Structure 1
Amino acid sequence: MALRKAGSVLVVFFWSVAVVLGQDGWSVTYTPQSICALKGSTVHLTCSYTYPSGTVTSIFWFTKMETGVKPEDLCQDPEYAGRLEYHGDKEKDCTLRIKDLRERDSSTYLFRLLTDQEGGTYTGSPGVTLSVTGLQVKVTGGHQDKTLTCITTCTLTDNPTFIWYKNGQRLDEPTSQQYSVNSYYSDSYSCAVEGHEDHHSPAVCVRGESCFNVTYTHQSICALKGSTVDISCFYTHPSWHNVTEVSWFNKWESGVTKDLSQDSEYTSRVEYHQQTEKDSTMRITDLRVSDSTEYKFRFTTNEARWGYSFPGTTLTVTGLQVKVTGGHQNKTLTCITTCTLTDNPTYIWYKNGQHLDESTSPQYKDPVSSNYEDSYSCAVKGHEDLHSPAVCVQGQSCKRVTYTKRRICVLKGSTVDISCTYVGYVTSSLWFSPKRSASWTNKLTPEDLTRDPGYAGRVEYAGRESGTYKSPFTLRITDLGEEDSAEYRFTFKTYNFEWGHSFPGTTLSITGNTAVFDTTVYHIELQEKINEPSC
């Protein structure tokens, strides 16, 4: 599951303690018994347990309890994928953390433990009840004077401090759950709880249906490094106002914002799209980890401007890593990220460069090879070129290939070097392009580019040495034409091993434009733009 530091946490406790005492020293204590938490926030279900003797062999949390049916570990539930962290141990602590809370997470959660003793199974009933709520603004009162109330579906205690926004601008004076106003038809209001501003309520019109408002499609987005993301919103304004300017920004100081389309850090990577008169989408391509921040939309009319302090969409950019856990023989592989990928993605696993069909979950559950030569890598379907680095399951001396650059864009007629580093005692090696598979003698066996008539006299290798263990290897293609735009992969053989053919390689694009992007395995860097191409 994806792991990262705890984010925003709003936990509202009903201070009761459920202590479940069993016979012979069994017990589970939940503190507290009921919790009310904001949608999108993080919550800790705190509990402790005791058992009479033996060794704890298994511990897990679950929500569904049916007679005669074995409870399902929440860690195996796709609904919670990447959102759970067990902070307990196999001694007495059984605390569970759930992040990015959703309203459907509202349920009763129970803890279960198993020991190596006969009859050593125990469930701590009645559990802890979690209620997840959003915020809404309720408008009451007469035609002129209105009372606004920030409401929830469960009662927030501990006297929280409330924040109010008017037309996207934070108001300093109100800190209570109710706010009295006498406003114009164009004004909108929203509320939040201090410390959790990113979990604000939708903005509402105080009078009529035509007021200033911005609604973001997503409050948070998790996207893969190197991919493309769309951050969107729709907005409203009084019918007698005319929009004169729209922009997206992520930096503001004293009310001054900078349009991202004019920001050098986003040059040629940001585009604005508009489907209707009341929506806006910002597309960012070739995402970098440094793009992780909050993005906001702002519009100006001939009479007013939407405030800059209203919370927007928080983008987190993550790479993929394979985490190896387990004993010497039995290993578990987990494809981890620093945030929870949306849309419940399908995962892809590679073993020694070959696509494995049987596993599509973030955990590789099939028997993991104990061979010291074997390596594994993971990717997300639809983003196969953004795969994780290959890792050794046993030791550090496994076979693997690492491409120096994931994408390259160069000018037509020029020369390009496509490089990789391999690990293994090589007996033979070659570069190939899946695009050329129609011309292969055997469709399943790649053919060396040096023997392809389409590259005759234009391809040469550098760095190939039979018997070397770890070495760089470069493919050079000269006199590039548009037909050379393709993906290029490297494969090698040892005396008893062959690197798979399905592991994504380097994608080459040929163009005649200017301004190039060069994407490496680890980062994306904008090359100097003097007489260089743009893909």
Structure 2
Amino acid sequence: MALRTAGSVLVVFLWSVTVVLGQKGWSVTYTPQSICTLKGSTAELSCSYTYPSGTVTTTLWFTEWGTGTEPKNLGQDPKYAGRVDYHLDKKKVCNLKIRDLRESDSATYRFRLLTDQTGGKYSGSPGVTLPVTGLQVKVTGGHQDKTLTCITTCILTDNPTYIWYKNEHKVKEDTSSLYSDYLSDADSYSCAVKGHEDLSSPAVYGPRNTSVSVSPSGEIVEGRSVTLTCSSDANPPVQNCTWWYRKNGGHYQSISNQNTEPQHVFNEIKSSDTGEYYCEARNEMGTDRSESINIDVKYGSKNTSVSISPSGEIVEGSSVTLTCTSDANPPLDKYTWYKKNVTSPKASGQSYSINNIISEDKGEYYCEAQNGRGSMNSTALMIIVAGKQTSVLTAAVGIIVVVLVLILCLSGLMCFRKKASKSTSDTRDTSENVQGDSSPVYDNISGMAMAPTTAQTAATVDQDDVHYARVHVFHSENQEVPLYSTVQLLQPRKKEEDVQYAAVKFNLPSAAIW
């Protein structure tokens, strides 16, 4: 639609054109030749005509010839039904009135007359040009210095006075079509022409009632195409939209692409697109943002895996628990456990425990995780069962015990052989009669206070201890014998006392005191 040039002077061309066809006396005069009229108003086209002779039989107004031999009579056109009137009189006046003008009525209108004479047909040219225009408010300038202009597509007649409205209340009346007072994004503005206040322009205002819709509606499934549409009530229409989103309650950030259209399309939506979204709509009058909507992308099981507890080597008789984990939305509602190469499932539930493991339990295990959107198997987990093992401490104690037993046995064997050798070489008989008290007998006695003989002292200068090995004492029947340590008493076979020493060895230090 061509807009009127700013600063143009309203001019009405009121001039008559007389068209004469040769010298036959035919003519049609249109006054004026062009009329710029507001949409919704009434226009009256005036003309006068002459003809050479005969009687006028038919008169009509038309805008197009059509395909017939005669043009289409405007009064019989359904588009004008009930909106046109002809006015003819004897003074050869031919007027046309069109009510409730529409922009589609914009055309060139011509008058035609027919007489009863041969060849008595005539259409007047060039006709009357009737542009029909509505009022529009044009917004120019920036956010802080906007200017409004009331514009039309043609030059209105009679230098009209403009009236301005703010939120449907009159705020200014001026011959200027400009309005540049303080303008608020939240307010609406419109203009009208004085005398036609009921034909005001549509109001201009910033975006309002901005919202986001999702298509297709219903559950959003990963991999499908999803479209977000930003809708807003605005005039002029929204020029561009900015899309914002945030995930997991973080900060909002704009979607980094060049799309400023009112639609944002996910060709194949992903689970990572889950989050909150809103749009910001903008036109020349201001901006407005929508409420946030939540995009919850549903998807089947993914990243399914199996963990084992306790970790480490698995031995017979122990117990382990397998746990299945997976990412899914909605959450998983079914877990099934399988052993590789075994047809039937082993168990169900997120965890699977194997108690008192035996060697037959070894093998590969995996789980199947499932929700309403699908299922997925985990990778197989190999369980290797080792035989029973003795603990390191128990093994160490056993080894120590065996070594000690071997040492003791060897020590006993060596002592026995040594004693046997000494018994053979050192045994001697004592011929002295023992009278009175019997002497005490010691086994393994060290440092006993005794009165050594000179010969004994000399013989044992370098010895440290006194050792007895198996001392057998024979007493008389009535003699009282004191016992020390492990002394074995034998009953005498005869009445006389005999003292026998078997391998008696005295080891005394040179400075020992007895």
Smaller-chain TM-score bracket: 0.3 to 0.5
Could you say which structure has the higher strand fraction?
Answer: 1
Q: Who wins on radius of gyration, i.e. which is larger?
A: 2
Q: What is the TM-score when the length of structure 1 is the normalising length?
A: 0.36
Q: What is the TM-score when the length of structure 2 is the normalising length?
A: 0.37
